[in-house]
């Protein structure tokens, strides 16, 4: 199958992060600072990505502000003609720093928020972070940039959906992403503690619907479903190796941010192979493109071109083979593992990251 060029690149500049969120989807084993790509290597990655067709660059982590060369990398990506999105916890984002980054070419900021009130937010973040986030949101608005507030929802903050929406409005968000936890990396370790109850999900839906009506034209409210409780799998990444690529802090190039969990694949590194070659020719990117790789029930399913069999990472994590149908699908012979995971559980404590 011939792939189209990628549209976006998630550049995970570092895994270093001041927060310790239990829902972190980064790998259990983080890339150490001494294995991170250098400034010149990141510049080369950005140049190669633009030549390959990438238009949107998401500078992320960990916390991208932990990289001293962030301003230079922003300037370089902007100079190449990329739309630059900064994905941040907001810690360390002063007015001066934000103004400088905006001048150099950041065009949008995505700020994470953990809960509606400071006390709970700081418990979830494992750090005194909430106050700084308010200041960061003000700095983003002052720089004149559009702001997306991103909140990962789980058992310990689901009851706050209404108050979180109010907070996002107060922070001046243009867009609010309410994303139920996806269970990869560290989050999978905390699955029992994070899993929302059916009652929480049922209560949140009318609140989100009402907010969408009330805020129409002012704040876009996006609600990412809790896919374990769904019967249809999500069209993960809009298809494997179809639109976006991820470059990990050490230069490993991944078809999706969580693909490292698929230990049956070998991933190339941009320090050893050109990015274009990895995108078009590598075994990892070609593994699940198209439909040839599909097994039943996906192979003969009418929805195979709609949801692509769901998420390859989830299929691997929960069934041991990435070619299997994502077990979130009610037609999957492995669907029982998902049903078991959503069975009512008693509250269990988080294992904090780091």
The residues, ordered by sequence, that sit 6+ positions from 34 with a Cβ below 8 Å of its Cβ are none
The answer to whether residue 58 forms part of the interface with ligand FES (CB under 6 A) is no
Residue 21 is assigned to a ligand binding site: yes
Gyration radius of the chain over CA positions: 20
Q: How far is the CB of 125 from ligand FES (least distance, A)?
A: 23
Span 96-135, contacts to ligand FES by CB under 6 A: none
Rounded to whole angstroms, how far apart are CA atoms 312 and 326? Answer: 7
Rounded to whole angstroms, how far apart are CA atoms 309 and 298? Answer: 6
Nearest to ligand FES of 24, 313 (CB atom): 313
Rounded to whole angstroms, how far apart are CA atoms 95 and 89? Answer: 15
Query: Three-state SS for 113?
Result: strand
* Closest by Cα among 235, 254, 256 to 309: 235
Nearest to ligand FES of 110, 246 (CB atom): 246
Span 177-196, contacts to ligand FES by CB under 6 A: 184
Q: How far is the CB of 272 from ligand FES (least distance, A)?
A: 22
Nearest to ligand FES of 159, 326 (CB atom): 326
Rounded to whole angstroms, how far apart are CA atoms 146 and 175? Answer: 8
Residue 313 is assigned to a ligand binding site: no
Nearest to ligand FES of 259, 298 (CB atom): 259
3-state secondary structure 244-296: EEEECCCCEEECCCCHHHCCCCCCCECCCCCHHHHHHHCHHHHCCCCCCCCCC
Span 247-306, contacts to ligand FES by CB under 6 A: 256, 258-259
Nearest to ligand FES of 64, 233 (CB atom): 233
Nearest to ligand FES of 116, 242 (CB atom): 242
Residue 17 is assigned to a ligand binding site: yes
Look at the alpha carbons of 154, 213, 85, 102 in this order and tell me if their dihedral is positive or negative. Answer: negative
The site that binds ligand FES (CB under 6 A) totals a number of residues, namely 9
**Do you know the residue count of the chain?**
354
Span 211-250, contacts to ligand FES by CB under 6 A: 236-237
Q: How far is the CB of 25 from ligand FES (least distance, A)?
A: 8
β-pair partners for 66: none
Half-sphere exposure of 325 (CA within 13 A, CB side): 25
Q: How far is the CB of 243 from ligand FES (least distance, A)?
A: 12
Q: How far is the CB of 30 from ligand FES (least distance, A)?
A: 18
Q: How far is the CB of 236 from ligand FES (least distance, A)?
A: 3
What is the per-residue binding string for ligand FES in 306-325, x denoting contact by CB under 6 A?
-----xxx------------
CA dihedral 318, 321, 326, 327 (to 10 degrees): -40
Q: Residues annotated as binding site?
A: 17, 21, 24
Name the residues that contact ligand FES, by CB under 6 A. Answer: 184, 236-237, 256, 258-259, 311-313
Annotated binding site for [4Fe-4S] cluster: 17, 21, 24
């Amino acid at each position: 199958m011939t792939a189209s060029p990628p549209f976006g690149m998630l550049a995970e500049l570092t895994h270093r992060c001041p927060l310790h969120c239990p829902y972190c989807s980064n790998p259990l084993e983080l890339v150490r600072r001494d294995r991170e790509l250098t400034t010149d290597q990141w510049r080369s990655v950005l140049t190669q990505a633009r030549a390959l067709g990438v238009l949107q660059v998401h500078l992320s982590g960990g916390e991208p502000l932990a990289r001293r060369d962030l301003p230079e990398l922003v300037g370089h990506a902007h100079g190449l003609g990329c739309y630059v999105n900064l994905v941040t916890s907001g810690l360390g984002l002063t007015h001066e720093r934000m103004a400088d980054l905006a001048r150099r070419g950041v065009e949008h900021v995505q700020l994470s928020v953990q809960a509606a009130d400071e006390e709970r937010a700081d418990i979830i973040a494992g750090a005194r972070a909430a106050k700084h986030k308010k200041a960061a949101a003000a700095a983003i608005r002052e720089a004149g940039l559009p702001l997306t507030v991103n909140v990962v929802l789980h058992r310990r903050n689901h009851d706050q959906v209404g108050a979180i929406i109010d907070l996002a409005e107060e922070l001046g968000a243009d867009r609010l992403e309410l994303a139920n936890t996806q269970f990869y990396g560290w989050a999978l370790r905390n699955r029992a503690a994070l899993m929302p109850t059916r009652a929480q999900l049922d209560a949140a839906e009318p609140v989100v619907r009402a907010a969408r009506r009330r805020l129409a034209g002012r704040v876009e409210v996006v609600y990412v479903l809790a896919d374990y409780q769904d019967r249809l799998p999500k069209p993960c990444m809009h298809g494997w190796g179809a639109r976006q690529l991820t470059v990990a802090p050490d230069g490993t190039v991944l078809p999706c941010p969580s693909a490292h969990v698929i230990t049956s694949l070998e991933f190339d590194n941009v320090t050893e192979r050109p990015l274009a070659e990895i995108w078009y020719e590598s075994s990892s990117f070609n593994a699940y493109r198209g439909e040839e790789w599909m097994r039943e029930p996906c192979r003969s399913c009418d929805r195979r071109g709609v949801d692509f069999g769901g998420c390859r990472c989830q299929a691997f994590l929960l069934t041991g083979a990435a070619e299997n149908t994502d077990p979130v699908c009610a037609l999957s012979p492995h669907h029982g593992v998902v049903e078991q995971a959503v069975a009512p559980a008693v509250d269990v404590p988080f294992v904090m990251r780091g």
